[in-house]
């Protein structure tokens, strides 16, 4: 089953990887359902897709609210009659040393990066289980593969996503529901992640790194499209992707 005519729900769709993936998948013939908090951005992306001959709808979505994730899935089914792929991409990265005790930011990362993924899975899993097919893709990070000073809580949420997705893959095999999973571990990708960093020292170091190495989110969109395009009997479970010049 190719990308064409698949219904793909994307969270964190208003910029970066989510926006790039939505536009590429729509160009390849998918019907995309976009969720994020910024309505004006979503409106513009949907307009761009439609003007280029694609199909897209959106709904303002806060992934920290379980009902919002459910409503986004419901919109996909109402608009297009089904759902084939859930791309759980929303995330934020307000990194800082643990000693800075930015507990409010820790909680926000847990809410968005981990609970947001859990709520997305909860919203789509009953349909995928019933129809015995479907695909869940999640954006983790290279910080979900190795530890980085300043990224303790961010990394913890991304390690959790890694484990969660692997267990989901294994359980779907045991339960014979045929749900495919793919976890993406991006390195320095041009996005709005750095704008969430309030710790000045951490922000300065991250900006220097990204200025030197970052590649466009379209590179990750290509990986997302590749994963979606695989035959239903094939799971490509993990992708680690980043600048060829960066020693992540």
Residue 206, φ and ψ in degrees, nearest 5: -65, -40
User: Which three-class secondary structure state does DSSP give residue 170?
Assistant: helix
Cβ atoms of 198 and 105 within 8 Å: the answer is yes
CA-angle at 199, arms to 193 and 202, nearest 5°: 70
Active-site annotation holds for 154: yes
| Cα 115 to Cα 166: distance, rounded to the nearest angstrom | 16
**Catalytic position from the list 80, 154, 185, 210:** 154
**In terms of Cα–Cα distance, which of 89, 62, 64 is closest to 8?**
89
Active-site positions read: 154
């Amino acid at each position: 089953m190719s990308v064409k005519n698949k219904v793909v729900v994307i969270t964190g769709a208003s910029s970066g990887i989510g926006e790039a993936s939505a536009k590429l998948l729509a160009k390849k013939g998918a019907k995309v359902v976009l969720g994020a908090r910024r309505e004006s951005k979503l409106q513009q992306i949907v307009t761009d897709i439609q003007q280029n001959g694609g199909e897209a709808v959106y709904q303002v979505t806060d992934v920290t609210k379980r009902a919002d994730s459910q409503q986004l899935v419901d919109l996909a089914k109402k608009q297009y009659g089904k759902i084939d792929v859930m791309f759980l991409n929303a995330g934020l990265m307000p990194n800082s040393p643990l000693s800075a005790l930015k507990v409010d930011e820790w909680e926000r990362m847990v809410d968005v990066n981990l609970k947001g993924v859990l709520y997305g899975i909860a919203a789509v899993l009953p349909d995928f289980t019933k129809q015995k097919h479907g695909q869940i893709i999640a954006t983790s990070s290279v910080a979900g593969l190795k530890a980085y000073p300043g990224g303790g809580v961010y990394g913890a949420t991304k390690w959790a996503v890694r484990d969660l997705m692997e267990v989901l893959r294994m359980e779907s095999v045991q339960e014979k529901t045929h749900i495919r999973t793919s976890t993406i571990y991006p390195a320095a990708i041009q996005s709005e992640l750095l704008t969430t960093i309030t710790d000045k020292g951490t922000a300065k170091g991250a900006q220097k790194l990204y200025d030197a190495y970052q590649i466009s989110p379209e590179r990750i969109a290509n990986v997302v499209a590749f994963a979606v395009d695989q035959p239903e009997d094939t799971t490509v479970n993990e992708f680690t992707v980043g600048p060829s010049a960066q020693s992540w």
